[in-house]
Structure 1
Amino acid sequence: MSRTSMMMLILWMYIASAYSSGGHDIWNYLFGNNTYNKEVRPVKDWSTPTVVNISLSIIAVIDFNEVKQTIFLTSKVSFFWVDEFLQWNPTDFENISHIHLEQTRVWKPYIFLENSVTKQTELGTNSLKVIVNHDGKVEWNPTEVFQTTCAADVRKFPFDTQKCSMVFEAFGYTGKEVKMQSLEDHIDFHGYGSTAGWTIVETEMEAIVSDDGDDDIHIICSLTLRRNPVYFILNVFLPIVLLSFMNICVFILPVQSGEKASFVITVFLALAVFLTIVSGNLPENSDNVSMLNVYVFISTLLSVLIAIVTIVQIRLYHRDPELPVPNCLQSMAHLFTTHAKKFGKGKTTVKIKHSNGRMSGLSHDEEQEIPTVAYNTFFDEREKVTWPFVVKAFDNIFLLFFLVVNLTVTIVIFALAVRNEELQEDAHGEH
Structure 2
Amino acid sequence: HAPSVMKWVIQLCLSAHLAECVPEKPKRSALNQLTRTLLRKYDCGVRPVHNWTSPTTIYIDLILQSVLDVDGKTQSITTSIWYRQIWTDEFLVWDPEEFDGITEISLSSDAIWIPDVIISEFVDGGKSLPIPYVYVNSSGSVKYYRPMQVVLACSLEMYAFPFDKQNCSLTFRSWLHSVKEIDLALWRSAEAIANDKREFMNDGEWELLSIPSSYWQIHQDDTDYAHIQFNVLIRRRPLLYVVGLLIPSIFLMLVDVTSFYLPLSSGTRIAFKISILLGYTLFRVNLTDELPATAVNTPLIGVFFAVCMALLMLSLIKSILVVKLLHHSEKEVRQMSVSACLLDKYGSAAPAQCVFTQEDLLSLNEIQEAPSGLEWLLQDLVSLHLALSQEDSESSVQAEWLALCSKLDRFLFRFYLLVLASYAGTLKRNVLLQLTLYFCGVLQ
Q: TM-score, structure 2 length as denominator?
A: 0.71
**Secondary structure of the residue that 2:410 maps to in structure 1?**
helix
Instruction: Tell me which residue corresponds to 1:88.
Output: 94
Letter paired with 1:249: T
**Secondary structure of the residue that 1:152 maps to in structure 2?**
coil
Query: 1:231 & 1:4 partners in 2: Cα distance?
Result: 85
Residues 97-135 of structure 1, C-alpha deviations (whole Å, 9 max, x = no match): 1111111111011233332332799x873x621011111
Instruction: Tell me which residue corresponds to 2:407.
Output: 393
Query: 2:202 & 2:125 partners in 1: Cα distance?
Result: 28
CA distance 1:318–1:170, shift in 2 (3 Å): same
Residues 222-268 of structure 1, C-alpha deviations (whole Å, 9 max, x = no match): 21221122221122111111122222223211122212222223333
**Secondary structure of the residue that 1:142 maps to in structure 2?**
strand
Q: 1:25 aligns with which of 13, 19, 33?
A: 33
Instruction: Tell me which residue corresponds to 1:293.
Output: 302
Q: 1:163 aligns with which of 163, 167, 189?
A: 167
Residues 300-322 of structure 1, C-alpha deviations (whole Å, 9 max, x = no match): 22222222211110111113444
**Secondary structure of the residue that 1:313 maps to in structure 2?**
helix
Q: 1:202 aligns with which of 210, 222, 230?
A: 210
For residue 5 of structure 1, report the CA deviation from its aligned partner. 4.5
**Secondary structure of the residue that 1:222 maps to in structure 2?**
strand
Mean Cα displacement is larger for which, 41-50 or 162-171? 162-171
Q: 1:282 aligns with which of 273, 283, 292?
A: 292
Mean Cα displacement is larger for which, 257-266 or 155-164? 257-266
**Secondary structure of the residue that 1:295 maps to in structure 2?**
helix
Segments of 4+ moved more than 6 angstroms: none
Are the equivalent residues in 1 in contact too, given 2:57–2:185 (CA < 8 A)? yes
Query: 1:74 & 1:259 partners in 2: Cα distance?
Result: 56
Query: 1:222 & 1:260 partners in 2: Cα distance?
Result: 55
Q: 2:251 aligns with which of 242, 249, 270?
A: 242
For residue 36 of structure 1, report the CA deviation from its aligned partner. 1.2
Instruction: Tell me which residue corresponds to 2:242.
Output: 233
CA distance 1:211–1:192, shift in 2 (3 Å): closer
Residues 46-70 of structure 1, C-alpha deviations (whole Å, 9 max, x = no match): 1111111111122222222333332
Query: 1:51 & 1:224 partners in 2: Cα distance?
Result: 27
More helix by share: 2
Q: Which residues of 2 match residues 352-363 of structure 1 at below 5 A? A: none
Residues 15-73 of structure 1, C-alpha deviations (whole Å, 9 max, x = no match): 31xx343x2332233123xx210001111111111111111122222222333332222
Residues 336-380 of structure 1, C-alpha deviations (whole Å, 9 max, x = no match): xxxxxxxxxxxxxxxxxxxxxxxxxxxxxxxxxxxxxxxxxxxxx
CA distance 1:4–1:73, shift in 2 (3 Å): farther
Query: 2:141 & 2:100 partners in 1: Cα distance?
Result: 19
Query: 1:120 & 1:62 partners in 2: Cα distance?
Result: 11
For residue 215 of structure 1, report the CA deviation from its aligned partner. 5.2
Residues 177-199 of structure 1, C-alpha deviations (whole Å, 9 max, x = no match): 11122324236445454254111
Mean Cα displacement is larger for which, 201-210 or 46-55? 201-210
Are the equivalent residues in 2 in contact too, given 1:130–1:138 (CA < 8 A)? yes
Q: Which residues of 2 match residues 5-404 of structure 1 at below 5 A? A: 5-7=18-20, 12=24, 15-16=26-27, 19-21=28-30, 23-32=31-40, 35-118=41-124, 125=130, 128-183=132-187, 184-185=189-190, 186=193, 188-211=196-219, 216-276=225-285, 280=289, 281-286=291-296, 288-319=297-328, 320-322=332-334, 323=336, 386-404=400-418
CA distance 1:141–1:291, shift in 2 (3 Å): same
Letter paired with 1:314: V
Query: 1:124 & 1:217 partners in 2: Cα distance?
Result: 27
Letter paired with 1:263: F
Are the equivalent residues in 2 in contact too, given 1:63–1:196 (CA < 8 A)? no
For residue 94 of structure 1, report the CA deviation from its aligned partner. 2.6
> What's the Cα RMSD here?
3.1
For residue 285 of structure 1, report the CA deviation from its aligned partner. 2.7
For residue 408 of structure 1, report the CA deviation from its aligned partner. 4.1
Are the equivalent residues in 1 in contact too, given 2:218–2:227 (CA < 8 A)? no
Query: 2:154 & 2:37 partners in 1: Cα distance?
Result: 48
Q: Percent identity?
A: 22
For residue 394 of structure 1, report the CA deviation from its aligned partner. 2.9
More strand by share: 1
Are the equivalent residues in 1 in contact too, given 2:80–2:147 (CA < 8 A)? yes
Letter paired with 1:12: E
Letter paired with 2:407: A
Query: 1:200 & 1:38 partners in 2: Cα distance?
Result: 39
**Secondary structure of the residue that 1:210 maps to in structure 2?**
strand
Letter paired with 2:242: I
Are the equivalent residues in 1 in contact too, given 2:125–2:151 (CA < 8 A)? no
Letter paired with 2:306: F
CA distance 1:8–1:161, shift in 2 (3 Å): farther
Gaps in structure 2 of 5+ consecutive residues: 1-13, 338-395, 439-444
Letter paired with 2:146: P
Gaps in structure 1 of 5+ consecutive residues: 325-382, 424-431
